[in-house]
Amino acid sequence: MGRVVIDVMPKPEILDPQGKAVVGALARLGFKEFAGARQGKRFELEVEGEVDQAVLDRARQAAETLLSNPVIEDVVAVRAASDQE
Amino acid sequence: MRIGVVTFPGSLDDRDALRAVRIAGGTPVSLWHGDEDIKGVDAVVLPGGFSYGDYLRCGAIARFAPVMSEIIRLAGPPTQTSPGLPVLGICNGFQVLCESHLLPGALIRNEQQQFICRDQKLRIERTDTVWTNRYGKDDEIVVPLKNGEGGFAADQATLDMLEGEGRVVARYLDVNPNGSFRDIAGISNATGTVVGLMPHPEHATEAGYGPEAQAANSTGDGTDGLAFFTSALQGVLSA
């Protein structure tokens, strides 16, 4: 069983209200060294066999079709999960 | 005149949209997300609510519902034989239209991170659409607004294109309730058949039940939203 990890982040120029709320809460808890936060999404897709390039290509296609909205988000990573994950 | 209203799992305002069509003088037709045909309706309303629980992104999963394939196909770019199926997306319906790429841009979480529910003043800026032809240019009206992810976002080029082509249908007045770029409350496709709107005209169609707040061109009895639906009857007839 293989696993593909996909990371999706809001585009840098798009306001990220959730990230703003997170960094505000961090500051209130004393984590003042963190000047900013952005919140994205991680998807894990399972496949029956090994994760090869063909699977990664399909995963990227899925990421760009459904898992992200290219108007407001970037697919920043599509990779095979390591054994430790 | 038959106007369909799609019910997705999690739609909330489908009943009010059906009612608004009836009050306007049209024949409301219920459409189901899992059906592939749209029962030959003349126009479609995608109602407000939280289709599929707003999972993934608002409207992202609804956009791939069987009924949407047919609506996207019929509402797509106009051809010589067809002007395109008129579609009004309200709130979650607007989000579905953006996810479907029938309209540009996207709706993101409100700038102030809170769900907003208020009577909202709007200016109707484009009046040659199927859905707004019964308003006067720059009419000021009040209809309810209720959303958590209603901030209209697009890149500068898209915003300039929308402004340049006169495709901003409605703009927020007095207060920008959700951080929408350039105070945009609603937009249309190039031909004015497809309109997306974040506020809720279907909740302001029956005397005595709409907002009490007034704007310059208010009807005075809380029915400022009714003209969206009477417009469609007019627009579909003339199309």
Partner A contacted by B99 (CB < 8 A): yes
B153-179, pLDDT tens digit by residue? 999 999 999 999 999 999 999 999 999
Distance CA B218, CA B214 (A): 6
CA-nearest of A51, A45, A47, A48 to A63 is A45
For residue A61, count CB atoms less than 10 angstroms from its CB and return exposed for 0-12, middle for 13-18, buried for 19 or more.
exposed
Partner B contacted by A21 (CB < 8 A): yes
Contact between chains at B56 and A71 (C-beta distance less than 8 A)? no
Domain that holds residue A51: 2-80
Q: Residue B137 has what pLDDT? A: 97
Distance CA B99, CA B64 (A): 9
Phi, then psi, of B191 in degrees rounded to 5: -90, -5
Q: How far apart are the first and last CA of chain A?
A: 13
**Which ranges of chain A have pLDDT less than 50?**
none
Band of pLDDT at residue B237, cut at 50, 70 and 90: low
Contact between chains at A14 and B108 (C-beta distance less than 8 A)? yes
Indicate whether A15 belongs to any domain. yes
Which amino acid, A34? F
Q: What percent of chain B has pLDDT over 90?
A: 93
Q: What percent of chain B has pLDDT over 70?
A: 98
Helix (H) or strand (E) holding B233: helix B226-238
Question: Which of B54, B58, B63, B109 is the best substitution to test chain A (most A C-beta atoms within 10 A)?
Answer: B109
Q: Residue A17 has what pLDDT? A: 85
Give the domain CATH number at B78: 3.40.50.880
Contact between chains at A66 and B60 (C-beta distance less than 8 A)? yes
Indicate whether A85 belongs to any domain. no
Residue B67 has pLDDT above 80, yes or no: yes
Residues in chain B closer than 8 A to A10 (CB atoms): 108
* Interface pTM, i.e. ipTM: 0.85
Q: Residue B234 has what pLDDT? A: 82
Count how many domains chain B has: 1
Domain that holds residue B190: 2-238
Which segment of A1-15, B26-40, B124-138 scores lowest on mean pLDDT? A1-15
Contact between chains at B153 and A71 (C-beta distance less than 8 A)? yes
Give the domain CATH number at A22: 3.30.1280.10
Residue B238 has pLDDT above 70, yes or no: no
Residue B141 has pLDDT above 60, yes or no: yes
Q: How far apart are the first and last CA of chain B?
A: 12
Catalytic residue numbers of B read: 91, 200, 202
For residue B73, count CB atoms less than 10 angstroms from its CB and return exposed for 0-12, middle for 13-18, buried for 19 or more.
exposed
Closest CA in chain B for residue A15: B111
CA-nearest of B110, B112, B87, B111 to B97 is B87
Residue B34 has pLDDT above 60, yes or no: yes
Q: What angle do CA A59, A62, A66 make, to 5 degrees?
A: 150
Could you count the other beta carbons within 10 Å of the beta carbon of residue B59? Answer: 29
The pTM of this model reads 0.93
Count how many domains chain A has: 1
